[in-house]
Amino acid sequence: MRPLVLTIALLALAGVTADVQTPDVKVITGATLINPTSATAVPNTVIVITGGRITQAGPAASVKPNLGAEVIDARGKFVIPGLADMHNHLGVGGMSFGPQRENYVANLGRLLAVGVTTVFAPGVGEAEFMNLKAAAAPDGSPYARFFGTGPAITVPGGSLGEQGPAPRTVDEARAVVQKLKAANVDAIKFHRDDLAWASKRTIQPMALDVMQAVIDEAHRQGLRAYVHAPQLGRAKEALRAGVDGLMHGIIDEPIDQDFIALMKKNNAVYVPTLGLFGHPERIKDFGYRAIHLMTLRGKEIANAFYGAAAQTAYFAGCSTGGQNALMEAQRFPEDYNGILAGAAAFNRTHLHMAALSVWQNTHATPGRFIQPGQLTLINNAVLAQCAGHDDGLATDQFLTDPRACKFDPKVLQCTGSSVPPACLTAEQVTTMQNAYAGTSDPQNGQLINPGAARGSETDNVFALGLAFQQGLPEPPFDGLFYWVFGPSFGVLSSATNYANFDFHRDVRTVDDQLADTLNAVSTDLSDFNRRGNKLLMYHGWADPLIPPQSSINYFNALAKIERGNGGDRAEVQQVDFRPGDGNKLATTQRYARLFMVPGMYHCSGGPGPNAFDALTPLVQWVEQGVAPETIVATKFVNDTPPAVQMTRPLCLFPKVAKYTGSGDPNVAANFVCVAHDLDSQTPAPKFGP
């Protein structure tokens, strides 16, 4: 049986009676009912489900179920209204890209686990659509209910030219819809915008007669037609043609009365693209408040379920989850006893500026793009020069400490008759040199965000590095700049947009509005430490999205609070490891420890040992006082258990693993941890740590 999560919003908590139209009646008794609209928990409730719909819900004394109904005893369980996700592609990037296919069905399970009971996917490949339908169909399946469109219909060379059908004529459009109907799709989705989402070029949008044929044939087949048209003019054209809904909000200009009238005439569905600009409270929720409130409510529910308060609480997150983790430690030290923070996106505004910088770097001229295969070429050259010179093994397919590598991509510059992709042009050399150098203020040279680590180069777009970022029509993760500059940030003719963002003038504008809310950069963890709490951080040395130096910079800047001369001010003292530093490192490691992971991409994956358990050592540290010195990481063959390729110890920073010289180099026991104290890229104080 599915978990007790209901898909229909509750009619009332005081008991609502409806006429019984079908003998299919189920009654859930004894559950604690969570009402999210009032943030209340109602114990010992009765919920009546008639013909698949909730017809009564409320305290047992106020609900009168029908006699003879099937009764489900839910004492000791909680019931919440299920959430419906109306736009979810179930994988990174969204469509039918191969490496994500294995995750699609698993994602349906993850969504159900957090209360999303129904998912509508407006665009997945036909094979994936059939797999998802089969997995989610049985009543007892552990997955959210699934509905979708199959592959979205596009235009030749357009949004999904390689994945979705692209009819050129009215007859082809009808045939495409008929084929999708035969595949048992639940609706039809098509694209009406004029942007090729694999590059920044514009394309000819779907012809009006082809669009009309798609919509008309969908209706003849008993299907609704939904459009991807985030531009007001394109959306109106689709609405006049009879489209049933928009899968994105309008982003290029404000909607008008004509648009509203067309929506009402069609009774059209509108799935908004939720922006945060103009909504400072939402930005606070994203920045820090939502996780804290979730924690409070979660503890209340757990305490009610077990009848006692938990003795310890733990938080674990990576990437944005890592930012959440550090926000909790800094702002709400009473929330968790142990915090696990991986690859933390803690310096949020400057990290997103780095993504802008990478995109501008590769789009400065057409010649600045790195071609397919060239990042692998560069990575091979990095390893050839540096592997084995950083206390790692010469045979490693990753670097143990990239800071020891001074590789200059200029060594790959084309000479003589050699041409790309077998070498780099002078412009491509500039692209890579800039990527390694990081994001800086062009007027004073101050570093805003560290650069890419050598050894993080990969052609794998799912690693979210340069290969992924340069191929997008605009910079990745640039939503927060819309919060500051509004929709015009996406318009190239506007004063400030993603292509002309000024890293001297515009940085302060963004930071003035967002830094205090989004950046988890406080190094005062004195209250967290005083409570006996523990922070365990980790970061992949080959992370191509968030530079690994970022976590090192934060750890290095963790401070102990000391009373000033007058006893009335807090004096922040930065941690460093120079001779004569006293016990700063040891003092910091009593409550905060960092482990760097050789060869791991962003949070997982990569050529190095990337599978490890950091939570158990954290629990042992909190509950038994045993602080971790090493964590054993495993590299599985093809990153798929159980066959083990190698194991390697993750060492307590600033140490790294070094082979002892004897024994199997694929076994962690044959390595020791040695100290590395190398130069680092550190942002200017106003942008750091």
The residues that are catalytic are: 319, 543, 602
**Which helix (H) or strand (E) element contains residue 216?**
helix 208-220
Q: What is the separation, in whole angstroms, between the first and last Cα of the chain?
A: 50
Q: Of 537, 520, 508, 487, nearest to 654 (Cα)? A: 537
- Give the Cα separation of 170 and 180 in Å (integer): 16
Could you tell me which residues come within 8 angstroms of residue 295 by beta carbon, excluding any fewer than 6 positions away?
313, 315, 328, 332, 335, 336
**Cis-peptide into 421, omega within 30 deg:** yes
**Which helix (H) or strand (E) element contains residue 59?**
strand 53-59
What are the backbone angles phi and psi of residue 640, rounded to the nearest 5°? -130, 115
- Give bridge partners of residue 447 from the DSSP assignment: 440
Q: Of 133, 150, 272, 161, nearest to 221 (Cα)? A: 150
Distances (CA, A) of 221 to 53, 179, 237, 266, 352: 27, 11, 22, 18, 45
Could you tell me which residues come within 8 angstroms of residue 639 by beta carbon, excluding any fewer than 6 positions away?
605, 610, 611
Could you tell me which residues come within 8 angstroms of residue 217 by beta carbon, excluding any fewer than 6 positions away?
173, 174, 177, 178
Could you tell me which residues come within 8 angstroms of residue 560 by beta carbon, excluding any fewer than 6 positions away?
526, 573, 584, 587, 588
- Give the Cα separation of 462 and 276 in Å (integer): 26
Distances (CA, A) of 333 to 180, 339, 528, 534: 53, 10, 5, 10
- Judge whether 344 and 333 are in contact, CB under 8 Å: no
Identify the DSSP state of 290. Answer: H
Strands 145-148 and 116-121: parallel
CA angle, residues 508, 510, 511, in degrees to nearest 5:
65
Question: From the CB of residue 21, how many other CB atoms can be counted at a distance below 10 Å?
Answer: 10
- Judge whether 643 and 628 are in contact, CB under 8 Å: no
* Token pair belonging to 554: 């934060």
Q: Report the 3 state secondary structure along 601-641.
A: CCCCCCCCCCECCCHHHHHHHHHHCCCCCEEEEEEEHHHCC
- Judge whether 324 and 336 are in contact, CB under 8 Å: no
Distances (CA, A) of 482 to 228, 251, 348, 464, 490: 20, 10, 14, 21, 8
Strands 671-675 and 655-659: antiparallel
- Give the Cα separation of 360 and 600 in Å (integer): 26
- Give the Cα separation of 408 and 437 in Å (integer): 11
- Judge whether 101 and 25 are in contact, CB under 8 Å: no
- Give the Cα separation of 626 and 168 in Å (integer): 67
